[in-house]
Amino acid sequence: MSQGTPAIPTAPAVKPPFTWESAVAKVRMAEDAWNTRDPQRVSLAYTEDSVWRNRAEFLHGRAEVQAFLRRKWSRELDYRLIKEIWAFGENRIAVRFAYEWHDDSGHWFRSYGNENWEFDERGLMRRRIASINDLPILETERKYRWSAPGPRPKDHPGLSDLGL
């Protein structure tokens, strides 16, 4: 972490059973962590044997999660993400999200999706199921313009506020 970069709490600090407030906090902690684009840091929010489905890719365990995230962020440049809670239960949270990025040719995209999360008793995510679609956009259509990598500023609008 560079000097001046705010510390981002790790996701396990919030444990099930979730309340509305704790589920919202868990979603924002996940968003903030992913916006660091640090595969090692992000992977610590998942159990050692976590299971993922991300699009059509199936992952098992932290090592595969880290490798996946390194590949992802080497392709999805200038990545910025916003997550919003959709629903929650005792140890599960559903979120919707959108992120913006560009490829190495400078073509911009907004990727939309939904995730279903399941947590263990320590607050580590043991299952993540993500469905995602990519929409090509013009650079002028971007809505996420905060300094990156790093968390979305507290005063930056969320998905609903942006009409996404």
Strand pairing partners for 58? Answer: 53
Asked if residue 117 is part of any domain, the answer here is yes
* pLDDT per residue as tens digits for the range 95-128: 999 999 999 999 999 999 999 999 999 999 999 9
Q: Per residue of the chain (164 residues), what is the pLDDT tens digit?
A: 444 444 445 545 799 999 999 999 999 999 999 999 999 999 999 999 999 999 999 999 999 999 999 999 999 999 999 999 999 999 999 999 999 999 999 999 999 999 999 999 999 999 999 999 999 999 999 999 999 899 999 999 999 999 99
Cα-only R_g, the chain = 15
Asked if residue 136 is part of any domain, the answer here is yes
CATH of the domain at 40: 3.10.450.50
Q: Considering the entire predicted model, what is its pTM?
A: 0.91
Asked if residue 37 is part of any domain, the answer here is yes
Asked if residue 155 is part of any domain, the answer here is no
Asked if residue 108 is part of any domain, the answer here is yes
Number of domains in the chain: 1
In 3D space, the residue among 76, 94, 71 whose CA is nearest the CA of residue 84 turns out to be 94
What's the domain range around 134?
15-141
Q: How far apart are CA 67 and CA 87, in angstroms?
A: 29
